Structure 1
Amino acid sequence: MKKKDPIKFSDRIHLIDGFDLGIPGRTGTYVIEEENLTLVETGPSPSVPRIVEGLKDLELDPKDVRYLILTHIHLDHAGGAGLLLKECPEAEVIVHEKGKRHLANPSRLIEGARAVYGDSFDQLFDPILPIEEEKLIVKEEGDTLEISPDCTLKFFDTPGHANHHLGIYDPVSNGIFTGDTAGIRYHQTLDYGVTFYLPSTSPNQFDPEEMKQSIQRFRDLKVDHIYFGHFGKTDEPEAAFNQVVEWIPKFVEAGEEALVNGNGIEGVKNRLYEKVNAYLRELQIPDDHPVYEVIQLDIEVCAMGLVDYLRKKERNR
């Protein structure tokens, strides 16, 4: 197991790399050091040993963790929650009201992920353990959570990527934990002086209008920082929001073009890849850069979500 030290963003916020999908800098767990030690996201179960190791690197005891906050229940963000609770027995899990029952009984989560990931499922996500209901705390729009006398987190209902999605505002840093609603931060091209952002349109609750509305809510908070589910922090929130909002209609258009021509998911994937590749070539990112492998993985899942959204839209006409 490759060792990677937690990333320090401030004296109170660190990020532990979970090496999701075996990829560095893909998905992480945020550590908020307050009176009540709080983690945001758990990643999938294979990331749990890295979280435990990262906490020890920070000289923190997993048994002191008080809250595990999940932005949403997709397995790359929350699949490891049940397993991590075994290491953090005093912790309670914060989740959107629409996600609670799926954490208590993850059978549908497992079924949906197996449909997307097929034979790779066990390696990427197993085991997914149920969480006792008394450990689950629901947060809704406008709810708060005091994690110290000096810090009360605030929760926002932020659909668009998923209907069970929470945004979490941290008043101390004036930052927002956006999960996947405000897109993905591609930091892999920093060696070329470039960071870029794309929407995440994975199945099966992607909605472009809701996503744009949720991003506008984030904008209205006038935050100084965005803490992304994938991956890390930006101190230029407007630039990130602008890029994702500009790409949303381009993603939908790629889906519509492919379906009109009868090309299906493969056609959507190819069109998306062409659009993103052309953009990166304009930024002088060479064709053999490792970022393309990450993008290819993301686009496969995004294409499924776009097709699902457009077919639902067609049925509802």
Structure 2
Amino acid sequence: MALPDFVEPLGDDLYAVDTGFHRPRFDAAYLIVERGRAAFVDTGTNHAVPRMLAVLDALGLGPDAVDYVIPTHVHLDHAGGAGLLMQSLPKATMLVHPRGARHMINPLALYLGAQAVYGEEEMQRSYGRLHAVDATRVRSPADGEVIELAGRPLTFIDTPGHARHHHCIWDERSGGWFTGDTFGLSYREHDTTRGAWILPTSTPVQFDPDALRRSMDRLLARSPRCMYLTHFGRVTGAPRLADLLHEQLDGMVALALRLRSAPDRHAALKTALGELYSEQLARHGVADPVAAVDDLDLDIELNAQGLAIWLDRSTT
């Protein structure tokens, strides 16, 4: 059976699955296959579950071939469908950060927290009801722990900064990290002859720029050949991208501090972020940076919210 058009084979028995969230090529889950066994890294929302099962079928794998479901963290675009997916995978164990495990076992607080950001109408439209995972099927790897998928080592490290419940996963076979949101966002429509363009994400509510810098440096310490981003896809040239992330992170923090007491702070933050990204995109060689910034409206909105929460927390 041919692979569905929302699946991209990446080599090394890895597959990127476009979850269909928000727009095409915005949100990815990954499938790792090793000697007939499989693991999902991130899952998208409930609406992505049919896609997850379809890629298994296309590869000739049954639902009982999946040993692990691995959310990088419990934000809903990464883990909103994890509970529902687990119901279809009878042999799977969920590997989730220790700070996120309780939210997978009892997702009520997770739902209410997201509802406070997005509103009830958007929650129902984009995410739906969250499904609990039986506590006996949930495991939390320690920082530095290695878990094998049919002999393929996967190393888990604690990577706060975007969220305190975030870990990244090192795949020795491909020499790449599954980075969730720790290594930023890079959308393929912004690729130029210079390569990928990338920006940090300060989504509410646990953004911590100092912790994020340390986490990014831990990823680089392994000299990765590539990064597997949830938003979106595989990127190479990690040192160059890390320099860009550090530069933009410094810029975001500086503009947030400058606008701490602005009369309409949220609007001011959004405008300043748009200007920062427009300048960066133009420097990267994007033909129409103004239109590109318009495409980043959701990320700018969330980054502005996260910066505001960080500002308020840092003054208390």
Q: TM-score range by the shorter chain?
A: over 0.9
Aligned to 1:89: 90
| 1:33 maps to amino acid | V
| 1:127 maps to amino acid | R
Alignment of 1:223-302 (within 5 A): 223-282=224-283, 283-286=285-288, 289=291, 291-302=292-303
Aligned to 1:136: 138
Determine if contact 2:186/2:232 at 8 Å carries over to the other structure.
Answer: yes
Deviation at 1:191, TM superposition (A): 6.7
Aligned to 1:29: 29
Determine if contact 2:197/2:281 at 8 Å carries over to the other structure.
Answer: no
Q: 1:126 and 1:312 mapped to 2: Cα distance?
A: 30
| 1:202 maps to amino acid | T
The 1:10–1:131 alpha-carbon spacing in structure 2 relative to 1, beyond 3 Å, is same
Q: Where does structure 1 lack aligned partners over 5 or more consecutive residues?
A: none
Aligned to 2:222: 221
Aligned to 1:175: 176
> Alignment length, in residue pairs?
310
Q: Where does structure 2 lack aligned partners over 5 or more consecutive residues?
A: none
The 1:279–1:86 alpha-carbon spacing in structure 2 relative to 1, beyond 3 Å, is same
Q: 2:52 and 2:287 mapped to 1: Cα distance?
A: 32
Q: Which sits farther off after the overlay, 154-163 or 266-275?
A: 266-275
Deviation at 1:40, TM superposition (A): 0.5
Aligned to 1:63: 64
SS in 2 for 1:139: coil
Q: 1:81 and 1:146 mapped to 2: Cα distance?
A: 20
Does residue 112 of the first structure (1) align with residue 89 of the second (2)? no
Q: Which sits farther off after the overlay, 118-127 or 261-270?
A: 261-270
Determine if contact 1:6/1:57 at 8 Å carries over to the other structure.
Answer: no
The 1:113–1:154 alpha-carbon spacing in structure 2 relative to 1, beyond 3 Å, is same
Q: 2:247 and 2:289 mapped to 1: Cα distance?
A: 23
Aligned to 1:43: 44
Deviation at 1:307, TM superposition (A): 0.4
Q: Which sits farther off after the overlay, 263-272 or 251-260?
A: 251-260
Deviation at 1:260, TM superposition (A): 2.7
- Cα deviation per residue 1:234-262 (whole Å; 9 max; x = unaligned)? 12111121111111011112222222323
Does residue 145 of the first structure (1) align with residue 144 of the second (2)? no
Q: 2:14 and 2:168 mapped to 1: Cα distance?
A: 17
Deviation at 1:273, TM superposition (A): 0.9
The 1:58–1:11 alpha-carbon spacing in structure 2 relative to 1, beyond 3 Å, is farther
Does residue 16 of the first structure (1) align with residue 17 of the second (2)? yes
- Cα deviation per residue 1:40-90 (whole Å; 9 max; x = unaligned)? 001111111122222223332233111001110111100100111122122
Q: 2:43 and 2:142 mapped to 1: Cα distance?
A: 20
Aligned to 2:160: 159
Q: 1:183 and 1:270 mapped to 2: Cα distance?
A: 20
Deviation at 1:297, TM superposition (A): 0.6
Deviation at 1:229, TM superposition (A): 1.5
- Taking only the aligned residue pairs, the percentage that are identical comes to 32
Deviation at 1:223, TM superposition (A): 1.1
> After the TM superposition, which parts of structure 1 deviate over 3 Å for at least 4 consecutive aligned residues?
190-194, 291-294
Q: 1:201 and 1:285 mapped to 2: Cα distance?
A: 26
The 1:4–1:293 alpha-carbon spacing in structure 2 relative to 1, beyond 3 Å, is farther
SS in 2 for 1:30: strand
Deviation at 1:194, TM superposition (A): 5.0
Q: 1:172 and 1:287 mapped to 2: Cα distance?
A: 37
Q: Which sits farther off after the overlay, 261-270 or 238-247?
A: 261-270
Determine if contact 1:43/1:78 at 8 Å carries over to the other structure.
Answer: yes
Determine if contact 1:6/1:58 at 8 Å carries over to the other structure.
Answer: no
Q: Which sits farther off after the overlay, 84-93 or 55-64?
A: 55-64
RMSD: 1.6
Q: 2:90 and 2:299 mapped to 1: Cα distance?
A: 34
Deviation at 1:214, TM superposition (A): 0.5
| 2:31 maps to amino acid | V
Alignment equivalent of 2:123, drawn from 121, 124, 127:
121
Q: 1:192 and 1:300 mapped to 2: Cα distance?
A: 28
The 1:104–1:238 alpha-carbon spacing in structure 2 relative to 1, beyond 3 Å, is same
